[in-house]
Structure 1
Amino acid sequence: MTRVLVAGVGDITLTDDGFGVEVVRRLHGLPEGVEVVDFGLRARDLAFQLLDGYTALVLVDAISRGAKPGTLSALEHDLSSGDPVAPSLGAGHQIDPDTVLNMIVELAAAFGERPPGRVVVVACEAASFDEAIGLSPPVAAAVDSAVAAVRDIATQLVEGRHRVPGHSR
């Protein structure tokens, strides 16, 4: 059976870095085989949990690539080779998605395991990573669309019919 982990990551005390946490907080009613977890700042815990036989990961986080704040992106990575992930999602905050993905690859290798082959990062362009609780207006406005996108992607992954997104919304 396909097992999909939907992981929200981010720091709710750094404005838009709380995006992933807010998206997974609102996710409900997903099909059997999909587990949703708010990892917050615990990226290492996420890496360890993935050693429990998940076949796919949907990682939800904020990014900083210079796009208009609130822009959603869905990018797929294949971690099955065990090669490091090349920077593609932009930095700007404590632990960006590329760092999380590389931590997963390194931990899997250290334990002689394979990371999940299918990884889709659903990300939102942040307006701010300043110290404050609460999302900026453009990022808050993108949350419902992100919830729908994550629900669709996770459902497709668990049903084995997911296509590579490679687009921005």
Structure 2
Amino acid sequence: MTMDFWARMERRGPGTVEVDGVPVGPGSRVRLRPRSSRADIFDLALAGRIAVVEAVEQDDEGRPHLAVTLEDDPGRDLGEARLPGHRFFYTAEEVVPVVEEETAAGDRPVRVLVAGIGNIFLGDDGFGVEVVRRLTQSRPPELPAGVDVVDFGIRGMDLAYALQRDYAAVLFVDAAPRGERPGTLTLLEPRLSDEGGTPVETHGMDPVQVLRLARELGRIPPRVLVLCCEPSAVLRGTPDEDVLVELSAPVRTAVDDAARMVVSVAADLVADAAGEADPDGRPGEIPEEKGSARR
């Protein structure tokens, strides 16, 4: 393979493509109409179905392709994680934009992502995963519609791609040492610097690097918050450390309070976004860290 091939592969795909005069990109709803000349069993089954564009990608010759998941697929989250059987690729000529009156009027339902992150084998680092597990098992009635609660674990690349969707805000739930008493909950609105050259770690989860990567891919949500918990001990996963799959007592005690805070903060984010929608759909900027709320 030539260097030209690798150079083409490294080029970022366009943010949107134009279909029938309508810009189509992450979050757009489309109706599938695969070409009969290339249709396989999946194409025949999916023809006419409504899908949601997850990303605009390009092949080695620079031709754009739309990565989509089916709107009514119960395993849609698997497609968002780029697993086969739930994620499909179509050219711009094989989709029709779904432009509904409420969408054209700017009344698209607000969506917020709650992302639990951390390594469950490193003790208190699994705090965010445990909070999300608690929420997904019970799904509190106060959690508004449009709030996706997802355990990303250490899948940084999957989270970066998820942030390309039309989320108005993201709330990370994580363990982070800040010099507080173990179990202390802190709500932060962080700042993201303009440093470039983000390293790609498919099995790492540094929220700041994930946000930088997401911005390089195309967008980050307009609002970014972090609900973090002070760990009792920080494990780094070095060879001389033992695997620890349990949270410490103070961090375990904080899980229920954190779940209630997530419900409250998510409701506020939905309400704020519904009243302050970004008409241009521009990538969000992360404001400077504000005064944190502690519990």
What is aligned with 2:151? 38
Greater helix fraction, Structure 1 or Structure 2: 1
Matched, 1:152 2:264: yes
Q: How many residues align?
A: 153
Q: How does 1:25-64 map to 2 (within 5 A)?
A: 25-27=133-135, 28-29=139-140, 30-64=143-177
- Larger relative contact order (Cα-Cα within 8 Å, sequence gap ≥ 6): 1
Aligned sequence identity (%): 46
Question: 1:5, 1:54 within 8 Å by CA — same for their partners in 2?
Answer: yes
Residue 100 of structure 1 corresponds to 207
CA contact (8 A) 1:78 1:119 kept: no
Pairwise CA distance, 1:78: 5.8
CA contact (8 A) 2:169 2:222 kept: yes
Structure 1 contact 78–117 (Cα < 8 Å) conserved: no
- Amino acid of the residue matched to residue 120 of structure 1? L
Tell me how far 1:95 sits from its aligned partner.
5.6
Spell out structure 1 runs of 4+ moving beyond 3 A.
none
Q: TM-score w.r.t. structure 1 length?
A: 0.82
Q: Which runs of 5+ in 1 are unaligned?
A: 85-93
Q: Which residue of 2 aligns with 1:83?
A: 194
Which residue is equivalent to 2:180? 67
Q: Which runs of 5+ in 2 are unaligned?
A: 1-108, 196-202, 236-242, 276-289
Q: 1:128 aligns with which of 230, 233, 244?
A: 233
Q: Which of the pair has more CA radius of gyration?
A: 2
Aligned counterpart for 1:116 among listed residues 213, 217, 221: 221
Contact 1:77 1:118 in 2 (8 A): no
Query: RMSD in angstroms over aligned alpha carbons?
Result: 2.2
How does the TM-score come out when normalised to structure 2? 0.48
Aligned-partner SS, 2:252: helix
Which string of whole-angstrom CA distances, capped at 9 and with x for unpartnered residues, describes residues 57-101 of structure 1?
A: 00000011221100000001366xx735xxxxxxxxx966xx313
Inter-partner Cα distance in structure 2 for 1:132 and 1:155: 34
